[in-house]
Structure formats: structure tokens, C-alpha cells
């Protein structure tokens, strides 16, 4: 089975790029299941319902979130209605929406968990370990393969989470930094891992944003709104090939389109 993870969408332009290209990429590489981190895909903080529906039609099976997911009430309301759109599970039971879902593709049942780290990132949530453990225990027997998006700043924290669940979660990928890492690896018990998938948005800027607006905010510390970069859009992705007989990842391939 081939699972495609796509990094943080940074703008509506990134969402439009996937709308135009994702199904073709799925066909080209024989992708069976696709997870997209989409929390910044709209002009609002937190994904809008319209953008979420567009991404699901365009080839995303599940949309994960992160530290900006809950910053907009419109996004919060939508999370309760769409089991395919997740927010970090360690927000706790009182938060709107869901931290995990099980998608039945007809041939397989795929568990997808969205969690957030708590090192150098705001808001600072509970550590994700116990939340993930609870899901694996509660859903035991209800899924065939499992995926975790760990949305975190610190690469060491992401890797610690991956090693904790090595052999128990098939695919663990990191999001949030918008920069693809070169540490794709198969852990000792067969889990496929990468610290960060990268991003999906306009090129020619700083992490998808216009250079001048980023530098101004960093130098002055004044409040300001980032502007999207103006280069051609692109998407970073990682394909994990999983041996369904034993659950071990056999190949990890980075792509950019």
C-alpha cells in the first residue's frame, strides 16, 4: 500500500495547486491513501469549510491540523461535522472536533491520528503520548493500518514520539516547519518516519510568505500580517510504501510537484 503525506498548505494558492494536480499525482505514483496538513490553507487561521471540501474532492482522504487550527470560530464549528478533518488530539475532549478518525476505503480501514508537540510551540498542550496510547487501545481491532501526523517544532520531539510508537503505528510524519527534512528512515520495528514533509504553497518566499513582510516582523517585533509569496506554487510530499502482510514500511520516497 502506498500512503502519500503532503506538507503544510500555506495559502489558498497551495490548495488550488492540489485541486489541479493531486489526482494526477495519485494516479502517477499509484497512491492508495493521502493525508494533507491543511490548517493554513485558507485566508483565515484554521481551515474553512469551503477549502476543506475542495481538498477532499481533490484527492485528500484526511486533512490534519496543528497550532493554528482552533484560532477561528468558523473552523471550530466545521470540525465537529467533518470526521475527515482533524485537529491535534491533545487539545483534549472539551475541544471541538476530533483528534483521530478511521477511514474505511472499502479494502482497508486506515486510522489517522493528529497530535501536536509541546516544545517551542504555542499553544502549549499536554504531551501527546497518553492521548495516542488511548486511541490505539480504544480502536484496537478496528483498523488495518495507522498513520500519525505529529505537528511540532522540535525534530527531537518528533523522533521521540516516533520511536515510542515504532512498530505500533505504521507511518509517522512531522509537519509545521514547512521545510522538508533529509532524515526519512525506517525505524527498527518497521515504522516509516520523516521529521518534516515540507509545505505546499507559493515559491520564492520565506516558508511560503513574502520575504519583506517576514523580515519586517522579525526586525521590528511589531504586529503585522504576512503576505503570501508570489512565485509558482509547488507541493512537497512523501510516499510511504507499506507491506500489508506485516505492517512494515519498505520504502520512503520524497516527491515535489
* Alpha carbon distance 108, 33 (integer Å): 10
Report pLDDT for 165.
Answer: 98
| 3-state SS record for the chain | CEEEEECEECCHHHHHHHHHHHHHHHHHHCCCEEEEECCCCCCCCCCCHHHHHHHHHCCCCEEECCCCCCCCHHHHHHHCCCCCECCCHHHCCCCCCCCEEEEECCCCEEEEEEEECCCCCCCCCCCCHHHHHHHHHHCCCCCCEEEEEEECCCHHHHHHHHHHCECCECEEEEECCCCCCCCCEECCCCCEEECCCCEEEECCCECCECHHHHHHHHHHCCCCCCCECCCCEEEEEEEEEECCCCCCEEEEEEEEC
Bridging pattern class, strands 33-37 and 62-64:
parallel
Task: Give me the active site residues, please.
Answer: 68
Residues in the chain: 257
Look at residue 42 in the predicted model and tell me its pLDDT.
Answer: 87
Do residues 203 and 168 touch, judged by C-beta distance below 8 A? no
- Which domains, and CATH codes, for the chain? 2-204+232-256 (3.60.21.10)
Q: In a structure prediction context, what are the per-residue pLDDT tens digits for the chain, which is 257 residues long?
A: 999 999 999 999 999 999 999 999 999 999 999 999 998 998 767 899 999 999 999 999 999 999 999 887 878 888 999 999 999 999 978 899 999 999 999 999 999 999 999 999 999 999 999 999 999 999 999 999 999 999 999 999 999 999 999 999 999 999 999 999 999 999 999 999 999 999 999 999 999 999 999 999 899 999 878 889 999 999 999 999 999 999 999 999 999 99
Angle among Cα 193, 199, 201 to the nearest 5 degrees reads 160
**Contact (CB, 8 A) for 233 and 200:** yes
Amino acid at each position: 500500500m502506498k500512503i502519500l503525506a503532503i506538507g503544510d498548505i500555506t495559502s489558498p494558492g497551495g490548495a488550488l495547486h492540489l485541486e489541479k494536480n493531486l489526482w494526477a499525482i495519485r494516479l502517477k505514483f499509484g497512491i492508495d491513501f493521502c493525508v494533507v496538513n491543511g490548517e493554513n490553507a485558507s485566508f483565515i487561521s484554521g481551515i474553512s469549510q469551503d477549502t476543506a471540501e475542495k481538498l477532499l474532492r481533490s484527492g485528500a482522504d484526511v486533512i490534519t491540523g496543528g497550532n493554528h487550527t482552533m484560532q477561528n470560530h468558523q473552523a471550530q464549528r466545521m470540525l465537529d461535522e467533518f470526521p475527515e478533518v482533524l485537529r491535534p488530539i491533545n487539545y483534549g475532549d472539551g475541544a471541538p472536533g476530533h483528534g483521530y478518525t478511521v477511514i474505511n476505503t472499502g479494502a482497508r480501514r486506515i486510522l489517522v491520528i493528529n497530535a501536536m508537540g509541546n516544545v517551542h510551540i504555542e499553544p502549549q498542550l499536554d504531551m501527546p503520548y497518553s492521548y495516542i496510547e488511548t486511541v490505539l487501545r480504544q480502536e484496537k481491532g478496528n483498523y488495518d493500518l495507522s498513520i500519525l501526523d505529529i505537528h511540532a517544532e522540535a525534530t527531537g520531539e518528533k523522533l521521540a514520539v516516533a520511536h515510542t510508537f515504532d512498530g505500533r503505528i505504521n507511518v509517522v510524519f512531522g509537519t509545521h516547519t514547512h521545510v522538508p527534512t533529509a532524515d526519512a528512515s525506517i525505524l527498527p520495528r518497521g515504522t516509516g518516519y520523516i521529521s518534516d514533509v515540507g509545505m505546499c504553497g507559493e515559491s520564492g518566499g520565506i516558508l511560503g510568505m513574502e520575504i519583506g513582510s517576514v523580515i519586517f516582523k522579525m526586525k521590528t517585533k511589531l504586529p503585522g500580517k504576512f503576505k503570501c509569496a508570489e512565485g509558482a506554487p509547488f507541493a512537497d510530499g512523501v510516499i510511504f510504501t507499506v507491506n500489508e502482510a506485516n505492517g512494515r514500511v519498505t520504502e520512503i520516497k520524497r516527491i515535489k510537484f
